[in-house]
Amino acid sequence: MKVAIAYYSRHHGNTKKLLDAIKELADMELEIELIDVVECKEADLSGYDIIGFASGIYYGKFSKAVVEFAKNNLPNGKRVFLIYTYGVKGDYTKEIKGLIWDKSCQLLGIYGCRGLDTFGPFKLVGGIAKGHPDESDIKGAIEFFRKIIQA
C-alpha cells in the first residue's frame, strides 16, 4: 500500500514529530512518502492508495500551503485523512474538509492533538501546550494511522 502525507510543520515541528513517528513505525508493507508542501508545490498523487494532509493550525485553519497543495494536486475519488496540531482545542478542519468533499474523496478520519504554541500573547508566557506533542499524543497518532490503513 502506498501512502502520501502532504504536510506543513514550521514553527516548532509539532506536526512533523507525529509524521516521523508514523513513518518510523509503519509496517514494512507500507510505502509512506512525506511531502513538505513548502519544498514541493506539485506532485502526482494518483498512484497513492491513501493521501493524508497534515498541518499545524495557523489563524484557526490548516496552513494555506497545505490547502493550496490539496486544491492543486488531490485527485478525485481518493481516500484521505487529516492530522493536525493545535495550541487551543477546536475544530479547524472545515475548509480542508470542504475541499476533500468537492473532490469526491472519502474522509477516513481526523486526528488532532496539542502542540507547543507561542503565537501572539502566548509568546510572553513561553507558550502554551508545553511539552506537546508528548508520548501519549504520538502513540495516539500512530494508533489513528493504523486504523486508517485498515479501513
Which residue ranges make up each domain of the chain?
2-150
pTM for the complete prediction? Answer: 0.91
Specify burial of residue 35 (Cβ count, 10 A radius: 0-12, 13-18, 19+): buried
SS3 119: coil
Of 19-33, 110-124, 126-140, least confident by mean pLDDT is 110-124
Residues 102-131: tens digit of each pLDDT: 999 999 999 998 765 656 555 545 554 566
Q: What is the CATH number of domain 2-150?
A: 3.40.50.360
